[in-house]
Amino acid sequence: MAGTGTLRLDATTRGIPLVDGIVAAEIGTAGWSPSRGDLALPVLTLDETAFAANRDLFLRWCAGAGVRIAPHAKTPMSPELARSLREAGAWGATVANLQQAAVLLAHGEKRLLLANEIGGKQAGRRLGALLSAYPGVEFHAFADSPAAVATLAEAAGHSARAELSVLVEIGTGRGGARDGAAIDAIINAVANTEGVTFGGVATYEGAAATSDANETASAIARLMERTIDTFARVRAAAPGRPLIISAGGSAYFDVVTSALAPVAARDCNATVILRSGALFFADHGVYARAFAEIDRRGGLVIDGVRRSAVESFRPSLTLWAEVLSRPEPGLAICGFGMRDASFDQGLPVALRVWRDGVEQSELAAGLTVTRLNDQHAFIALPAGSSLAVGDVIAFGISHPCTCLDRWRVLFGLGADGTVTRALTTHFG
């Protein structure tokens, strides 16, 4: 597949200021800075230094904790970023559906977890056709019922593979087997179905979370007990196979690792694989709060040193927009909206303000995004604010997953505040 660098981007892409366009590979030489308004705002940027620091930090934590990471590609759907994580030491990548798998396979990924069920026979045939095109890929998929096992067997039969690895999914609140009888039914289906084999067990603890921290802790603890019990059942059914134990969104990776890593260590032929993806981007909302909870649970131990998650992970995504209107006292209308920013787990927060390329350090304090329309943000201002039409505001976002999927091009930003590259996203 052609690389991003051969793509020509023009004014039909948000952020590109040139009607006649520019080759993506040349964007890093243009010297564009969103704070100066060089880009066509609004635009979403990735702080390259912060992303790399988050990546290296978490990979060091994983190594010290005795686990591996297959970052969930659904967050950015950027093959370039998936590759950068793998090249830095990630085990592989995680996908949520066949479209995401097709994107990463087409861009050269060789090891995938499909962290979801995919449907019935037709979906199985589509997966089989996809795997036929990439015969050397290591591929593992979830199943939470005999019907899901049958779908994966259908895929194996249409892919000319000797066997397809199945992870028995244990769940609560979303997909996943709920009790021992359901787990035994899946294990029996795998053991007695041609074309599939045991790959291990998997779960997602984020679905157990509630608004109460103590209730959440108890629910996740129960889920971990069920996961460990299921692993013992799968191990009994597949005594000689290397197995995967997979869990871990970006909010509770410390909790699941403390429960599951000792199980894998005792087994000696199992690997814990986390699937965290959003933490590499961090944010100013839901994950900032999640990192504060990690600190409340004791923080991170990296290279023998205890560190604060809040202070260690750095938000890397910034949404840039101009002030369009000051229609009345105490109100500014800014040029972004629901089509540009996530809002499901908190509204964007104003971080910094520039006027004619010069930062106005006193203007950001007290700016509050109160609501969004499709293309407009309503900003409440403190009394006497001199915020003006044309001022450029940098916003932090909450929930990277539902912000990135609004953008088909993400712009890397260097330490000097200028654009380094264009990263295409592939959400379909």
Distances (CA, A) of 310 to 116, 284, 351, 413: 30, 10, 17, 22
Measured CA to CA, the distance from residue 176 to residue 183 in angstroms comes to 9
What phi-psi label fits residue 195: left (phi over 0), alpha (psi between -120 and 50 degrees) or beta?
left
Helix (H), strand (E) at residue 22: strand 22-23
Tens of pLDDT, residue by residue over 255-307, are: 999 999 999 999 999 999 999 999 999 999 999 999 999 999 999 999 999 99
pLDDT the model gives residue 159? 94
Q: From CA 22, how far away is CA 10, in angstroms rounded?
A: 6
Rounded to an integer, what distance in angstroms lies between the CA atom of residue 81 and that of residue 143?
Answer: 28
Q: What is the pLDDT of residues 60-114, one digit of tens each?
A: 999 999 999 999 999 999 999 999 999 999 999 999 999 999 999 999 999 999 9
Q: Give the count of beta carbons closer than 10 Å to the beta carbon of residue 31.
A: 11
Based on C-alpha coordinates, what's the Rg of the chain?
A: 23
Give the predicted TM-score (pTM) of the model. 0.96
Region class of 346: left (phi > 0), else alpha (psi between -120 and 50), else beta: left
> How much is the pLDDT for 6?
81
In angstroms, the CA 113 to CA 269 distance is 18
> Residue 77 has which token pair?
């759907």
Distance CA 233, CA 339 (A): 46
Give the β-pairing of 43-47 and 317-328. Answer: antiparallel
Task: Compute how many other C-beta atoms are within 10 angstroms of the C-beta atom of residue 298.
Answer: 11
